[in-house]
Amino acid sequence: MAYFQNIGKIAYEGKGSDNPLAFKHYNPKEVVLGKTMEEHLRFAVAYWHTFTGAGSDPFGVGTAVRGWDSANEMDQAKARVEANFEFLNKIGIPYFCFHDRDIAPEGATLAETNKNLDVIVDLMEENMKASGAKLLWNTANMFTNPRFVHGAGTTSNADVFAYAGAQLKKSLEVGKRLGAENYVFWGGREGYETLLNTDMALELDNLARLLHMAVAYSKEIGFGAQFLIEPKPKEPTKHQYDFDAATTIAFLQKYDLKEYFKLNLEANHATLAGHTFEHEIRVAAINGMLGSLDANQGDLLLGWDTDEFPTDLYSTTLTMYEVLKAGGIGKGGVNFDAKVRRGSFEDVDLFLAHIAGMDTYAWGLKAAAKLIEEKIIDNIVDNRYRSFKDGIGAEIVAGRATLQSLEQYAMQNNAIKNESGRLERIKLVLNEVIYSV
């Protein structure tokens, strides 16, 4: 059955087009810096927002009425699978991502839940084979069910830890079956509210134990996906353990997990941590930890995760600049962890929102490529740090300087001269580049 009957395949029509159901910038086969846009961007649809979510918020139920809605949970789960593959084909997105609990309802027992999951995974496997659509990543939702009230890997209840391990095991098996290219760990409830009832050291040790078990089991079953941790600073818990890229890298290093993981960075999570998305990407990249991106945007006036579709060109330009400079996104991709606003409840809004996100990323990619080709930022940065190229700067970088040699130099250098950073001029140049592509 077709759920989007009035919508055909979305095509690239270019800048001159006034067709809202067409791309103006995303031209999948267009080559940018030696690779097609499709290869650079590796877009993915987030199943939970596009097929499971319906626009509910803390003050009201969902507003979207979907063709795949059904009173029977398993019928609805099957219909969502069909809608997913129809959508991927029409919008021209090669990948999708899901949590185990997005795709199939929980049963009364873990065994029943796994059985429901198997039915849907069978259906997905068939559809993947027929359509060629691929799984960028899957993950286990160990935060929605009330059993995870005190956490999963960081719970105070060993029975819940055991349940989480069992759920994770099944989720890794599903990933292997569907050929997931990555596997994500987002610790929704892995954090705490107050130290008054929390053993932080035990919780962190246990989280690392669970991750080591996941590494070991994946090896055992031959699941070759890249493991990714997705940092987020707050929401739902006050102190999320994977606060940001730097905190997460320190955790992985401490527990000898760094070689097995990279990071899945999300724009809105960066905002909540008080960082820009490009900051998070740079931190990951310089540590060899850039894995994948959850593309969305927050609202700087709001302090929570609004998961809006990315439409901010400055952000996508600087994001793609970081990705290109890091040598590309590798096995990762650009997953739209984004939801249509509650007021955008029509089916066509799902298409319009993804088109907006894809065009904004493609536009950002083109602008970033120009920044690189014309060495605009490289020249600024090279010039700014040129004092480290020779003389005392070169001695410092080579590791030959000592406090004594620095003192000797500083004592006879009485006229230190700094230069302007030229920030206002640089921002205008950035505007010009973005609007020129």
Active site residues: 99, 102
Give whichever of 244 and 294 is closer to Co ion, judged by the CB atom. Answer: 294
**Residue 189 engages ligand XUL in binding (rule: CB under 6 A):** no
**Residue 337 engages ligand XUL in binding (rule: CB under 6 A):** yes
Closest contact distance (angstroms) between CB of 244 and ligand XUL is 13
Binding mask 140-179 for ligand XUL (x = CB under 6 A): ----------------------------------------
Tokens standing for residue 210:
């669970």
Closest contact distance (angstroms) between CB of 296 and ligand XUL is 8
Residue 333 has, within 13 A of its CA and on its CB side, a CA count of 26
Residue 4 has, within 13 A of its CA and on its CB side, a CA count of 24
Indicate the SS3 state at residue 275.
coil
Distances (CA, A) of 244 to 22, 203, 263, 317, 339: 36, 18, 10, 21, 22
For 120: left if phi > 0, alpha if psi spans -120 to 50, otherwise beta; the answer is: alpha
Indicate the SS3 state at residue 119.
helix
Whether residue 239 contacts residue 245, with contact meaning beta carbons closer than 8 Å, is answered with: no
Closest contact distance (angstroms) between CB of 340 and ligand XUL is 15
| Nearest-angstrom CA–CA distance, 173 and 116 | 14
Whether residue 371 contacts residue 321, with contact meaning beta carbons closer than 8 Å, is answered with: yes
- The separation between the first and the last C-alpha atoms of the chain, rounded to the nearest angstrom, is 40
Binding mask 279-298 for Co ion (x = CB under 5 A): ---------------x----
Is 337 annotated in some ligand binding site? Answer: yes
**Residue 280 engages ligand XUL in binding (rule: CB under 6 A):** no
Closest contact distance (angstroms) between CB of 269 and Co ion is 7
**Residue 186 engages ligand XUL in binding (rule: CB under 6 A):** yes
Residues 325-344 binding Co ion (CB under 5 A) are 337
Closest residue to ligand XUL in the complex (CB)? 186
φ and ψ of 419, to 5 deg:
-120, 160
Residue 280 contact, options Co ion, ligand XUL, none, Cβ 5-8 Å cut-off depending on partner type: none
For 186: left if phi > 0, alpha if psi spans -120 to 50, otherwise beta; the answer is: beta
Whether residue 74 contacts residue 113, with contact meaning beta carbons closer than 8 Å, is answered with: no
Binding mask 303-332 for ligand XUL (x = CB under 6 A): --x---------------------------
| Nearest-angstrom CA–CA distance, 128 and 287 | 34
Residues 235-274 binding ligand XUL (CB under 6 A) are 266
Among 164, 180, 184, 272, which residue sits at the site for ligand XUL (rule: CB under 6 A)? 184
Which residues here bind Co ion, judged by CB under 5 A? 266, 294, 337
Which residues here bind ligand XUL, judged by CB under 6 A? 99, 139, 184, 186, 230, 232, 266, 294, 305, 337
Residue numbers belonging to the annotated binding site: 230, 266, 269, 294, 305, 307, 337
